[in-house]
Structures are given as C-alpha cells and as structure tokens.
Amino acid sequence: MPKYSIFVNGKTKTVEVENGTPLLWVLRDNLNLIGTKFGCGIGICGSCTVLIDGKAEKSCSVSIESVEGKSITTIEGLAENRNNPLLKAWIEVEVSQCGYCQPGQILAAAALLNENPNPSDKEIEEAMNEVLCRCGTYNRIKKAIKKVVAEK
C-alpha cells in the first residue's frame, strides 16, 4: 500500500493506506482521532467535519491523496487549547445534548469565524446548516457563536 504524509493538529503523520481512502477513515482508524464522527459517510450529515487549511470540509468525502501537504485540524487539535473561545462558549451555553454532532459543529463554527469574524444570524444559520443535529441544538449553537463574537 502507498504511504502518505499528512499534517494533522500540528504534527506530520505518515500512514499506509489504499489510494482513495477517505480522510475520515484515516483519522479514526489509523490515527485514533475518534473525535471526528462517522454519520452518513456520503457527505450529507457533516458530523465528520474537520478543518482543511482553515475551511470546513467533510472528511468522509475527501481522499487521503487530496490532503497531502494541507493542514488538517480535528476536534482534538482545537481542544488542545482549553481556552479556545468556542469551547468555552459551548460549555457556558451548554450547547450539547447527545453530543454526537458537536465536534463537527464546533469545527464548522471555527471555519465560519475564520472567514467571517462578525457573521449575521442568517450567515450563522447558513454555515451551520451544513452539520445536522438530530437533537435540535441549533438555537444554542447560534447563541454560543454570538457569544464568541460579542466577547472578542
């Protein structure tokens, strides 16, 4: 099997996987980064969302070879900084219910704020619609994002 070098959470990792393997499987099965969740596997639910070069991407839908040389951040990388304002706001607002979708939600929120530091309610709704929450935590997600924006 071919070897690939990828840059995940600030470190270079080498993995040996089949060409075309989705990044999601590499993160979970090869690197044990199981904070990235498997939901639909076909690019619809967003639970597998990670940051690739600062943008939100569904890791089930990008192949290992397409991310070589790019910077990948998973929830484990974001959570290394316990003072991360998104994490703090998520805890203070008590966003999570079952929690399954929340790593993807937090990374989608991080990507939104990377691109747009002061999003409107509509822009927050549009960006966050990419990650489905079966527990219906959208109002608390919006509240947490607005808290981060207000406290900057």
Residues interacting with ligand FES, by CB under 6 A? 38-41, 43-48, 58, 60, 96-102, 133-135, 137
Cα angle 145, 127, 97 (rounded to 5 degrees) comes to 55
Give least dist CB 78 to ligand FES, A: 17
C-beta atoms surrounding 125 within 10 Å: 13
Give least dist CB 80 to ligand FES, A: 22
Measured from the CB atom, is 15 or 24 closer to ligand FES?
Answer: 24
End-to-end CA distance of the chain: 47
Note whether 59 and 24 are within 8 A (CB): yes
Tell me phi and psi for residue 122, to 5 degrees: -65, -40
Give least dist CB 135 to ligand FES, A: 3
Measured from the CB atom, is 9 or 137 closer to ligand FES?
Answer: 137
Give least dist CB 10 to ligand FES, A: 23
